[in-house]
Structure 1
């Protein structure tokens, strides 16, 4: 009998596993853009602990192992920001990324009114772009970062009934 993946709020005890997962999960992005200095690969344990204190940080656990994580926060304009979605390579393409995104969206909506969710990814990150489109996100901006990378901003409006239901 297999184990189920459980999504929950990250704790201080999860920080090292999250950082290791993040490093593993973002290797493909670094290779795709030829840049191993991207923030998910250089983030310190202390920076992650600070995020744990002031953002929604969720993890997906398979038994005792963290196999997915995502972060979210609501900015001063009422936009739910999503970042650092990471799924262990062996767990990808099984719907876990979508489950994590839905869970962090729900957490932000429970916190305060949100009128839209926003995130970004690289222009060549086709798997990410497909996932976000399936989750209801639409491209709103493409901004060149350097000659190899453009950031694609995607947004998903929140239905009015949900945006004000706190």
Structure 2
């Protein structure tokens, strides 16, 4: 065996593998909320390609296979929206989700000047909440979307080059 997982920028050629992995990874979420019409399960390949063109996207590869992915965008005020963090079920619980999250945060800060990171997850998605909280995210709000779903918004400040949160870095 001996193959290790590498993390790199996603390319347009990764789109089909990402879409298939996304479909696989969001099945448990859809079951948890009894809603199979969620966007990650209905997104088309063309829509994904357009999203990848606009987003900062990162993939994890085991050889040539995409086994994880995440993407994010940054708005005008410097808030990075991170979404669709997925890891193949056979690769979960080995730290890959955290590595992907750190990689996309780093790229969003370096390439798009992110000042803070924001992500959303469902109120029953305990594994997601654990992962995000273990990486410094804190809940900043909850929105009742339907009788079955409340969406929790989590945020954290981006770190500066020296590792200090940007809010503590003195400006010149």
Give me the TM-score of the superposition, normalised by structure 2.
0.92
Residue 134 (structure 2) aligns with = 134
SS in 2 for 1:46: helix
The CA distance in 2 between the partners of 1:48 and 1:163, in whole Å, is: 36
* 2:11 is equivalent to residue 5 of structure 1: no
SS in 2 for 1:146: coil
- Greater shift, 90-99 or 108-117, is seen at 108-117
- Greater shift, 117-126 or 105-114, is seen at 105-114
Residue 80 (structure 1) aligns with = 80
Question: Is contact 1:144-1:151 (8 Å) kept?
Answer: yes
The alpha carbon displacement at 1:113 in A equals 2.7
For the aligned residue pairs, the C-alpha RMSD in angstroms reads: 1.7
Question: Is contact 1:114-1:164 (8 Å) kept?
Answer: no
The CA distance in 1 between the partners of 2:148 and 2:142, in whole Å, is: 13
Q: Which runs of 5+ in 2 are unaligned?
A: 159-164
The CA distance in 2 between the partners of 1:31 and 1:50, in whole Å, is: 27
Question: Is contact 2:109-2:115 (8 Å) kept?
Answer: no
Residue 50 (structure 1) aligns with = 50
Residue 125 (structure 2) aligns with = 125
The CA distance in 2 between the partners of 1:164 and 1:64, in whole Å, is: 43
The CA distance in 1 between the partners of 2:65 and 2:32, in whole Å, is: 27
Please, which of 159, 162, 166 is the counterpart of residue 160 of structure 1? 166
The alpha carbon displacement at 1:112 in A equals 3.4
Q: Which runs of 5+ in 1 are unaligned?
A: none
SS in 1 for 2:66: strand
The CA distance in 2 between the partners of 1:63 and 1:25, in whole Å, is: 20
SS in 2 for 1:18: helix
Deviations 1:130-150 (A, max 9, x none): 000001000000100000000
The alpha carbon displacement at 1:52 in A equals 1.4
Give me the TM-score of the superposition, normalised by structure 1.
0.95
Q: Aligned pairs, how many? A: 165
The CA distance in 2 between the partners of 1:76 and 1:38, in whole Å, is: 27
Deviations 1:7-39 (A, max 9, x none): 111111111100000000011100000000000
Residue 107 (structure 1) aligns with = 107
SS in 1 for 2:139: strand
